[in-house]
Amino acid sequence: MVLSVTELVRRAADADQAAWRELVRRYRALVWAVAREHRLDASDAADVSQATWLTLAEQLPRLREPERLAGWLATTARRESLRILTVRRREEPLDWADLPSTADGPEAALLASDRDGALWRALHGLPDRCRALLRLVAHSPGLTYAQAARALGIRVGSVGPIRTRCLAVLRRRLECDGLVEVR
Amino acid sequence: MNDEELLRRLADVFERYDPVPGGIGIDAVRAGVLAGSASSALALVADGDVDGVRGAGGRLLGFAGPGGRVDVQIDVGVRLTGLVSGLMGSLWVRWPGGSRLISVDSAGRFVIDGLPAGPLSLVVSGAVGPWFVG
């Protein structure tokens, strides 16, 4: 039986550890994605993820709209990510444009000649905002446009168009590489 | 492949090349914070720079509790330096999996180092503060 998010939140708030683990399993990739798409390295992204989950654990009994948990997690992860970015920029002032992409990057997939590797490379050919939005939507299809906008700091009205355009660009690149069928 | 199928493939690819480290989120259970925890009675009221000194590092946080506040600077290391004013009782720092009593001098000052990396939280006489990272 697949339990609803609301039911899982209710059970986890009653200290049901299995329910808590299921919540973590469902949303851990989303929380991680928000931190990584704010260009945090793996260590800072792990700190942001931990802080987000710990905050949720303590807020569970007071969570007002449990059905909107995905949005709450994404927004909390963004707030923590921005705090860390502020501290890091102060420690080591860098030009934003000089910052390397946080994920391993396309070179990690160079040796992987399979379709996943090609897809990973294609994703890194997309503008950052494209990749970030597609990543959030991929991990959490139930995320509303308003929630996705808040998590990435973009206007609600641009979420739909960005999603459509980026998927089209990605699809074209994959078709050029012969990785998806031309329709 | 329609959009939904493509997005499912993307989720798989992200998980393969940039996986979530194991244990994340599960530590909250080990920290004993799942339910039954005190309501968060220390509120974050300040979050800023160390005297505006660029490159000095460190993050300054202020927490307000019943009748007073705690101000703390976090340095990479991980070290906490701070000042308690107006709050009564023992001061603890906790992290997923442990906690330590902080020794505070008569003027309310404290320094504690050798803390584990990752999220920390302050507790004063059972008033629990929010999780923060350096």
Q: What is the pLDDT of residues A160-169, one digit of tens each?
A: 999 999 999 9
CA separation, residue A183 to residues A78, A90, A151, A162, A172 (Å)? 37, 50, 33, 21, 11
Backbone φ, ψ for residue A152 (5° rounding):
-110, -5
DSSP lists the bridge partners of residue A73 as: none
- Cα separation, A110 vs A123, in Å, equals 13
Percent of chain B past pLDDT 70, that is, above it, reads 81
B36: pLDDT confidence band, cut at 50, 70 and 90?
very low
Q: Do B34 and A32 touch (CB under 8 A)?
A: no
Task: State chain A's maximal CA–CA distance in angstroms.
Answer: 52
Q: Report which secondary-structure segment, H or E, holds A152.
A: helix A145-152
* Chain A contact for B10 (CB, 8 A cutoff): yes
A43, A53, A101: best to mutate for the B interface, most B CBs within 10 A: A53
The one-letter amino acid code at B41 reads: A
What is the structure's pLDDT at B55? Answer: 45
Q: Over the stretch A51-89, which tens digit does the pLDDT of each residue have?
A: 899 889 888 888 889 999 999 999 999 999 998 888 777
Q: Can you give the pLDDT at residue A169?
A: 94
Residues of chain A with pLDDT under 70: 90-113, 179-183
The counts of H helices and E strands in chain B are: 2, 9
Distance of CA A56 to the CA centre of its chain: 17
Tokens for B79, please give them: 């070290």
Position B49 scores a pLDDT of: 62
Closest Cα in chain B to A63: B35
B21 touches chain A (CB under 8 A): yes
The closest of B104, B128, B102, B130 to B115, measured between CA atoms, is B102
Angle, CA of A177, A158 and A145, to the nearest 5°: 95
Tell me the per-residue pLDDT of B70-128, one tens digit each, with 9 for 90 and over.
999 887 668 899 999 988 778 889 888 788 889 999 899 999 998 888 888 898 877 88
Q: Does B73 touch chain A (CB under 8 A)?
A: no
pLDDT over 50 at B53, yes or no:
no
CB contact under 8 A, A20 and B34: yes
- Name chain A contacts of B27, Cβ cutoff 8 Å: 50, 53-54
Which of B18, B49, B121 is facing A103, going by the closest CB pair? Answer: B18
**Residue that is written with structure tokens 């906008």 in the block:** A149
Given B4, B11, B35, which is nearest A29 (Cβ)? B11
ipTM of the shown complex = 0.84
Instruction: Give me the residue from B7, B56, B119 closest to A54, CB to CB.
Output: B119
Residues 6 or more apart in contact with residue B89 via CB below 8 angstroms: B124, B125, B126
- Both structure tokens of A45: 């992204």
CB-CB neighbors (< 8 A) of A34 in chain B: none
Q: Output phi, psi for B94, to 5 deg.
A: -125, 160
Q: Residue A99 has what pLDDT?
A: 45
Q: Is residue A37 within 8 Å of A135, Cβ to Cβ?
A: yes
